[in-house]
């Protein structure tokens, strides 16, 4: 085993502070370990020195999951699975609840396309569900949710009228999170129960595990890391039903001369390819088109400066039309006297000057290569006033390749295209060069497990329902008036 990994592992696990003695898991807790993440765990456990499976893991949420404890979990995975080709990142943003995280996921989650995403975030369940729905509809990532550790123990009365905060804490952790986990086949790590048991066993108060009433101290971080490490195991029964069939594997596809055609289903296609002959290259096409011509095969990087690094930042930038790979700069040109809204202009390194906008209104650039929603601006008032001349930058990058050359001497994994419309496609590879085409060991098609349907705004339905109700009410009133008038006429005729 790599001695550097061993040293890194022990340095990391001892960096969290004094050792604690976490409570042993109950049989009920053990029965939950590994649920919802078995595709990832099998990729890790089946990796060998000759067959290094690529595995991407993303930690996401806000400040609690961004604290140092996640590094201990990452080191533990690298130590346990030294042959896996692990790429582990933490893109959490402190102070961003589920409403904001659902926006920033456009830059942080979907382009990264993890095999496993580990999430802890506070906020409303509607935004939480929106995030999970898009993860499941746009990637094949398995999802592990962490519930909240107790900030008060025992919790006290669970009554909305007596203590709204305690009531909501209870609702989120015992009602909403389990519901979401079940609906989207996510793993759910119960941090809350063993944390409370640890407090009972040690006689510590909940505040003894926190630095400021919200964030865990060194002991709390070690508990979090320990609980998560316990969950990341290989189970005997295999993947969850939703994970089955997400990745379609085609082994040893055959060439027809210098052309290879293969059908796959999904929105991403990867291949494991051997060394290309010197001077040779592969030309890739999806559905007889260059992959880079697909508008979905582009992504915008997280806009800079990042949230909290200045008075104003952008949580999300979208495309209104087909994008191209380029760098973008947004410049604030004027600020209202109340400091609330401002005007700006944008310019692309390829597109050039592309329009001006106002922060209080949705903006679509002239080329339609940029769309900025009015609710995508994040204002950090603690950083002071918004200044004229402030710049926000981002890049648009391609997630596809038309030409593949200069591959590694050893078999290596390459993503050909990511962000395709979910559905059936035909991959065509054409070899150009001397000799025989390279050996392709496997081609993987990634098919997200749920179908994303366009979000229907609620207000047109509400307006239509209200109009229908008013129409029914008007007809009813008219009928009643006619009945009354008819009765009056009948009585009048009877007395005459």
C-alpha dihedral sign at 327, 358, 97, 210: positive
**Structural tokens at position 470:** 């008013």
Tell me, what's the pLDDT at 213?
A: 92
Taking the mean position of all CA atoms in its chain, how far away is CA 428? 30
CB 394 within 8 A of CB 328: yes
Query: What's the rounded Cα separation, in Å, for the pair 163 and 25?
Result: 31
Give per-residue pLDDT as tens, 54-64. 999 999 999 99
Tell me, what's the pLDDT at 457?
A: 47
Query: What's the rounded Cα separation, in Å, for the pair 350 and 365?
Result: 14
Q: Report the residue count for the chain.
A: 496
Taking the mean position of all CA atoms in its chain, how far away is CA 342? 30
Tokens 């009228």: give the residue.
Answer: 161
Give per-residue pLDDT as tens, 425-450. 999 999 999 999 999 999 999 999 99
Query: What's the rounded Cα separation, in Å, for the pair 436 and 431?
Result: 8
Mean pLDDT, the chain, as a whole number? 91
**To the nearest 10°, the Cα dihedral for 136, 138, 140, 144?**
-40
For the stretch 12-17, contacts whose Cβ atoms lie closer than 8 Å and that sit 24 or more positions apart, written own/partner, are 12/71, 12/72, 12/74, 12/75, 13/72, 13/75, 13/76, 13/225, 15/68, 15/71, 15/72, 16/68, 16/69, 16/72, 16/218, 16/221, 16/222, 16/225, 17/217, 17/218, 17/219, 17/221, 17/222
Residue 248, SS3? strand
Q: What is the DSSP string of 40-59?
A: HHHHHHT--SSS--EEEEEE
pLDDT above 70 covers a percentage of the chain that reads 91
Tell me, what's the pLDDT at 96?
A: 97
Q: Domain-by-domain residue ranges, the chain?
A: 3-231, 247-294+400-446, 297-398, 461-496
Strands 403-405, 259-273: pairing is unpaired
Q: What is the mean pLDDT of residues 334-340?
A: 95
Q: Minimal CA–CA distance to 184: which of 130, 230, 227?
A: 130
Compute φ and ψ for 181, nearest 5 degrees: -60, -40
DSSP class of residue 124 equals: -
Q: Of residues 217 and 483, which shows the higher confidence score?
A: 217
Q: Is the pLDDT of residue 4 over 60?
A: no
Query: What's the rounded Cα separation, in Å, for the pair 20 and 397?
Result: 45
The architecture CATH gives domain 3-231:
3-Layer(aba) Sandwich (3.40)
Query: What's the rounded Cα separation, in Å, for the pair 292 and 285?
Result: 9
CATH of domain 247-294+400-446: 2.60.120.260
Give per-residue pLDDT as tens, 343-391. 999 999 999 999 999 999 999 999 999 999 999 999 999 999 999 999 9
Tell me, what's the pLDDT at 460?
A: 52
Give per-residue pLDDT as tens, 73-108. 999 999 999 999 999 999 999 999 999 999 999 999
Give per-residue pLDDT as tens, 143-195. 999 999 999 888 766 788 788 888 899 999 999 999 999 999 999 999 999 99
Strands 363-364, 281-286: pairing is unpaired
Binned at pLDDT 50, 70 and 90, residue 14 comes out as very low
Strands 142-146, 187-189: pairing is parallel
Query: What's the rounded Cα separation, in Å, for the pair 229 and 69?
Result: 11
Residues whose CB is less than 8 angstroms from the CB of residue 171 and which lie 6 or more positions away in sequence, other chains included: none
Q: Is the pLDDT of residue 127 over 50?
A: yes
pLDDT above 90 covers a percentage of the chain that reads 78
Question: Would the pTM count as exceeding 0.85?
Answer: yes
Q: Is the pLDDT of residue 217 over 90?
A: yes
Q: What is the mean pLDDT of residues 468-494?
A: 76
Give per-residue pLDDT as tens, 303-325. 999 999 999 999 999 999 999 99
């Amino acid at each position: 085993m790599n001695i550097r990994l061993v040293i890194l592992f022990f340095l990391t696990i001892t960096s969290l502070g004094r050792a604690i003695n976490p409570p042993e898991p109950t049989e009920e807790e053990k029965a939950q370990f590994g649920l919802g993440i078995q595709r990832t765990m099998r990729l890790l456990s089946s990796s060998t020195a000759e067959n290094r499976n690529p595995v991407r893991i993303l930690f996401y949420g806000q400040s609690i999951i961004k604290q140092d404890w996640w590094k201990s979990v990452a080191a533990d995975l690298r130590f346990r699975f030294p042959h896996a080709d692990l790429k582990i990142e933490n893109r959490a943003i402190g102070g961003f609840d589920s409403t904001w995280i659902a926006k920033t996921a456009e830059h942080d989650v979907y382009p990264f396309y993890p095999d496993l995403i580990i999430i802890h975030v506070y906020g409303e369940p509607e935004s939480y569900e929106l995030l999970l729905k898009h993860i499941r509809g746009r990637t094949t990532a398995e999802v592990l949710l962490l519930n909240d550790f107790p900030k008060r123990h025992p919790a006290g009365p669970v009554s909305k009228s007596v203590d709204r905060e305690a009531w909501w804490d209870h609702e989120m952790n015992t009602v909403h999170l389990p519901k979401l986990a079940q609906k989207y086949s996510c793993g759910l790590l119960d941090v809350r129960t063993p944390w409370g048991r640890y407090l009972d066993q040690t006689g510590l108060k909940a505040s003894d595990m926190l630095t400021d009433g919200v964030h865990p101290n060194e002991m709390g971080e070690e508990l979090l890391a320990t609980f998560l490490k316990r969950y990341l195991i290989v189970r005997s029964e295999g993947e969850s039903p939703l994970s089955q069939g997400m990745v379609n594997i085609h082994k040893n596809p055959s060439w027809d001369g210098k052309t290879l055609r293969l059908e796959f289903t999904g929105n991403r296609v990867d291949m494991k390819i051997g060394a290309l002959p010197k001077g040779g290259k592969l030309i890739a096409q999806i559905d007889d088109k260059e992959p880079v011509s697909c508008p979905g095969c582009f992504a915008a990087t997280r806009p800079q400066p990042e949230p909290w690094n200045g008075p104003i930042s952008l949580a999300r930038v979208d495309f209104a039309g087909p994008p191209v790979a380029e760098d973008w700069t947004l410049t604030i040109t004027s600020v209202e006297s109340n400091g609330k809204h401002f005007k700006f202009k944008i310019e692309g390194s390829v597109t050039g000057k592309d329009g001006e906008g106002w922060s209080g209104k949705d903006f679509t650039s002239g080329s339609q290569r940029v769309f900025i929603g009015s609710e995508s601006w994040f204002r950090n008032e603690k950083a002071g006033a918004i200044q004229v001349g402030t710049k926000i930058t981002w890049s648009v990058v391609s997630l596809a390749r038309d030409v593949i050359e200069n591959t590694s001497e050893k078999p290596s994994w390459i993503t050909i295209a990511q962000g395709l419309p979910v559905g059936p496609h035909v991959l065509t590879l054409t070899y150009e060069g001397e000799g025989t085409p390279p050996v392709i060991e496997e081609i993987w098609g990634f098919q997200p497990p749920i179908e994303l349907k366009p979000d229907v705004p609620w207000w047109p339905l509400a307006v239509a329902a209200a109009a229908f109700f008013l129409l029914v009410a008007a007809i009813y009133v008219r009928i009643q008036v006619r009945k009354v008038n008819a009765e009056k006429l009948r009585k009048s005729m009877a007395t005459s």
